[in-house]
A and B are shown apart, each in its own frame.
Chain A
Amino acid sequence: MFKHLFILIWNKKKQNFLLLTEVLISFIVLFAVFTLLVFYYRNYKTPRGFDYQQVWVATYTNNFNIHDSDSLHQFYESLRNAIQAMPQVVSVAFVSSNTPYSNNMQMNGLQYQKRQLRSVNSYIVENSYLPTLQLQLLEGQWFSPADAAARKTPLVIDQTLREELFGNGPAIGQLVGDDNQQQIIGVVQDPKFNNDYSLTGKAMFSAPDTGSIRSLSRALVRVAPGADAALEGRLYKLMANTMKNANIQIEHLDEKRNSANNFALLPMIILAVVCGFLIINVALGLFGVLWYNINKRRGEIGLRRAVGATGSSIAWQLVAESLLLATLALLVGVFFAIQFPLLHVFDLAATTYLWGLLFAIVFIYVLVLVCSLYPGKQAAAIYPAVALHED
């Protein structure tokens, strides 16, 4: 019977061309949407790598009049101690401007054994950054006061960068950078600093030195549960009094996270809405074409009933024809879609594409099935004597 249906579809390829194109375009759009959804979902399920709750970000303009880096160190030391001494403050760390959910990025290259890695997120952070953000240390150690005496500049990297540089080999103690001036002392779990739906990628953390201390422009403050606006006011006052003429703004990381997540989801929501309308249009189109085909084929349906088809076999035939048509369109669509993982387009994991492909295929089949069930049922109900008389 499948061969018979295939012959019927093949001989009507001109009439079926529009339907095939409609299914093909829908599949390609669905493949893109599902791949994106799978990508977002997988990123969402990846551990965050740090704790954003009860963390405030104080942004300040660091145009204070201290030219000597030692004095600047002392300035930050005394400010840190002052903030730390406030009730309900758990820990505080001064960092560069690329704090979590800030949309700020600082990218640097990193050299390792003649290999030059590009686009590595670079974070200048104080020792207290780890407990403040509660990053997950996987290997080695975090920065400590003893690092000041180290001959090589200590560097902490994230897991992605670790795998990129060393694969399964040892990372701790490896020398990187120009003239091997930096030494890996620790590896942390990949932090998701942009939002919950995207990964940060390669990242390295270094302590502020005489040069980079001037790039510190944020204070991350972990506060105890129950910390309120009064503490926020006191913190603001303290910083404003200490940093004369600086503009200070205090934000909560959980609010910034919500905002960053909403911003990340916006294109997905827009795409889903557009896709939803497309699917409704395709469904109506499919339904209309199938309905029209049945009315055009009443004579054929009557004849098939006369020569031995049951009502249910007529319904089955029409549903099977639709599914076979969808299969032909999907074969073309899958050919194009499979090129994405094969050619590593957009640098997504192959399994992300494959899941997107699978969901799109299942969705198309369900859509075609749902759209052809009712016309199929109507075709089954056609009275053969009437249909044969009409034609």
Chain B
Amino acid sequence: MISLTNIEKVYRTDTIETLALNSISLDIAKGEFLSIMGPSGCGKSTLLNIMGLLDTPTRGQVQIADQPTQHLNDKQLAHFRNKKIGFIFQSYHLINDLKVLDNVELPLLYRHSAAKERRLLATAALEKVGLSNRIRHFPTQLSGGQKQRVAIARAIVGQPEIILADEPTGNLDSAMGHEIMDILLTLNKTEGTTIIMVTHDEIMARKTHRLVRLFDGTQVQ
């Protein structure tokens, strides 16, 4: 599903050159649930951003769904992300000025879906995460766990093949964290969605199919 070959990422300023990722090669199969672990600053999020086509590698190749991505332009990348990838972030990244339903509809808006279809799909996604009774609420009226469930609904509303989750349980207490993890596991199991999750939590990582460890930008496991 996702194939990374010799990925290298270098951040350059006028005075400093930082090697964030060093020769990472990784193949992730369709339907796999992979977790990435490592200490802070080891390049986990950078790797996830490269897989999500939000960032480009300095060297190496990224292939998603058998399609090389290095030659895609801004419009094609945006289209690719919209169709194939769902994102979940540690800090949820909900738009506080939009109601829950409008937040969930957001990816469909860039797909130019009809308003009625958007409503139906967003409501269905919110039902999946158990938040159908909160669709008229604003994010500021929700708890952390509820916000993350809204973010999951937003990630799955477009039925993407891949979900990239950057520390989805990082801001939640243990019980909430397990709830979110259960939702992701169910998605992986029932829908066959490929999930790549960055986490600091060993317990959560053990629930996934495979664990990749990074250290100073290099894959150590």
Q: Which A positions have Cβ atoms within 8 angstroms of B?
A: 1, 3-4, 7-8, 11-12, 299-300, 302-313, 383-385, 388-389, 391
Complex contact B107–A311 (CB within 8 A):
no
Residues of B within 8 A of A312 (CB): 74-75
Of the residues A4, A302, A306, contact of B102 by C-beta under 8 Å: A4
In the assembled complex, the CB of B89 is this many whole angstroms from the nearest CB of chain A, namely 6
The complex places the Cα of A14 from the Cα of B95 at a distance, in Å, of: 16
Would A391 and B93 be within 8 Å (CB), given that A306-B81, A307-B82 are in contact? yes
Complex contact B109–A4 (CB within 8 A):
yes
Q: Is B54 an interface residue (CB 8 A)?
A: yes
Could you count the A-B residue pairs with CB atoms below 8 Å apart for me: how many are there? 72
Residues of A within 8 A of B111 (CB): 308
Complex contact B81–A3 (CB within 8 A):
no
Complex contact B79–A388 (CB within 8 A):
no
The complex places the Cα of A177 from the Cα of B107 at a distance, in Å, of: 80
In the assembled complex, the CB of B159 is this many whole angstroms from the nearest CB of chain A, namely 13
* Chain B residue with Cβ nearest A11: B97
A sample of 4 more A-B contacts (CB under 8 A), given A303-B87, A306-B93, A310-B78, is: A307-B154, A313-B78, A385-B55, A389-B45
Residues of B within 8 A of A304 (CB): 106, 110
Of the residues B45, B54, B82, B97, contact of A8 by C-beta under 8 Å: B97
Residues of A within 8 A of B75 (CB): 310, 312
The complex places the Cα of A7 from the Cα of B106 at a distance, in Å, of: 13
The complex places the Cα of A308 from the Cα of B110 at a distance, in Å, of: 6
Complex contact A306–B98 (CB within 8 A):
no
In the assembled complex, the CB of A292 is this many whole angstroms from the nearest CB of chain B, namely 15
Q: Name 20 A/B residue pairs within 8 A (Cβ), A-sorted.
A: A1-B109, A4-B102, A7-B98, A11-B97, A11-B98, A299-B93, A300-B93, A300-B95, A302-B93, A305-B54, A305-B78, A306-B52, A306-B87, A306-B93, A308-B81, A309-B110, A384-B54, A385-B49, A388-B49, A391-B91
Task: Flag B75-93 by CB within 8 Å of A: 1 or 0 each.
Answer: 1001101110001010101
In the assembled complex, the CB of A14 is this many whole angstroms from the nearest CB of chain B, namely 10
Q: Is B16 an interface residue (CB 8 A)?
A: no
Of the residues B55, B79, B95, contact of A303 by C-beta under 8 Å: B95
The complex places the Cα of A12 from the Cα of B95 at a distance, in Å, of: 11
Residues of B within 8 A of A307 (CB): 81-82, 87, 106-107, 110, 154
Residues of A within 8 A of B46 (CB): 385
Residues of B within 8 A of A384 (CB): 54
Task: Flag B166-177 by CB within 8 Å of A: 1 or 0 each.
Answer: 000000000000
In the assembled complex, the CB of A318 is this many whole angstroms from the nearest CB of chain B, namely 14
Of the residues B74, B82, B97, contact of A311 by C-beta under 8 Å: B74
* Chain A residue with Cβ nearest B73: A310
In the assembled complex, the CB of B47 is this many whole angstroms from the nearest CB of chain A, namely 11
Q: Is B220 an interface residue (CB 8 A)?
A: no
